[in-house]
């Protein structure tokens, strides 16, 4: 199957099809997540269709010219192992190279890691998805999410993440509950299967613990929390609150220069699709 010439831009009108693919794949994204990605990078989100139906997607998220992410790499189960993932990733890389991005990162599942390694991506570090079941008292949609970035700490976030990402965080805050204290800040937002905890940036474990406790109090739904494995303080916070590690992923990178981050400040990433 030749797929390269069938790849096209993913547009807002395609979101129902992208959501259908999410549901078939057991992913957590809502329509707001897809809108956010397309609005942030309208020329860098891609789809493959068969008979007008979306069977695969991939997105890019640029943080200036220093760093970008590839995410939302989804291929319908019936169309896997046909070279589609490789073709979509290649399209994303071509787009990011045209933008002269210095460092390109992604978060890989064990299966995806094999594909990305063949395309020149190298391991940076690993992380786990942590999961805690709902107590049954809250249902989807009860999390108030209409915040602004006024409650974020951009200098601390840049130190943690490696580059400024204020534009992206502004979009994320619009559909998240945001908490900020002097030594840290964090968000929680709704998802289809669970609330999603992150990003959380903090300069001390005690501040991180306070942020986590207050954010978790906003939603009693099942919660996902993606934690960099090297941040042992974050792992201990998750374990103390009844979370269990359920999935392993690897952060990978390619490009002319690795943009470093400070994992001691990162207690939760923002999303495997955007870093």
Q: Domain ranges in the chain?
A: 4-101, 129-268
CATH superfamily of 4-101: Gcn5-related N-acetyltransferase (GNAT) (3.40.630.30)
pTM equals 0.93
- pLDDT value of position 6: 84
- pLDDT value of position 147: 61
**Within this chain, domains 4-101 and 129-268 share the same CATH topology:** yes
- pLDDT value of position 51: 87
Q: Exposure string (b/e) for 14-50, b if CB count within 10 Å is 16 or more?
A: bbebbbebbeeeebbbbebbbebbbebbeebbbbbee
* Helix, strand, or coil (residue 182): coil
- pLDDT value of position 71: 98
Does domain 129-268 fall under CATH 3.40.50.460? My reply is no
Low-confidence residues of the chain: pLDDT under 70: 1-5, 136-149, 151
Do residues 188 and 268 make contact, with C-beta atoms less than 8 angstroms apart? Answer: no
**Neighbouring C-beta atoms of residue 139, cutoff 10 Å:** 9
- pLDDT value of position 30: 98
- pLDDT value of position 148: 63
């Amino acid at each position: 199957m030749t797929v390269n010439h069938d790849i096209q831009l993913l547009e807002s009108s395609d979101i129902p099809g992208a959501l259908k693919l999410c549901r078939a794949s057991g992913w957590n994204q809502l329509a707001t997540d897809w809108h956010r990605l397309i609005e942030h990078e309208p020329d860098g989100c891609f789809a493959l269709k068969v008979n007008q139906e979306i069977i695969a997607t991939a997105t890019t998220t640029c943080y200036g010219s220093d760093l970008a992410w590839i995410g939302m790499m989804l291929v319908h189960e019936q169309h896997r192992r046909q070279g589609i993932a490789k073709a979509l990733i290649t399209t994303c890389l071509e787009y990011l190279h045209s933008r002269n991005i210095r460092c390109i990162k992604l978060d890989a599942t064990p299966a995806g890691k094999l594909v990305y390694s063949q395309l020149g991506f190298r391991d940076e570090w690993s992380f786990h998805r942590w999961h805690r079941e709902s107590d049954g008292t809250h249902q989807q949609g009860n999390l108030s999410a209409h915040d602004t970035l006024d409650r974020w700490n951009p200098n601390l976030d840049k130190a943690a993440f490696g580059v400024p990402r204020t534009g992206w965080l502004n979009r994320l805050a619009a559909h998240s509950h945001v908490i900020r204290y002097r030594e840290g800040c964090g968000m929680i937002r709704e998802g289809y299967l669970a609330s999603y905890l992150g990003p959380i940036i903090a300069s001390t474990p005690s501040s991180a613990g306070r942020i986590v406790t207050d954010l978790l109090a906003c939603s009693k739904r099942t919660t996902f929390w993606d934690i960099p494995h090297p941040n042992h303080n974050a792992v201990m916070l998750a374990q103390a609150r009844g979370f269990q590690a359920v999935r392993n992923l690897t952060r990978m990178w390619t490009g002319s220069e690795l943009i470093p981050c400070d994992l001691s400040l990162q207690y939760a990433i923002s999303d495997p699709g955007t870093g």
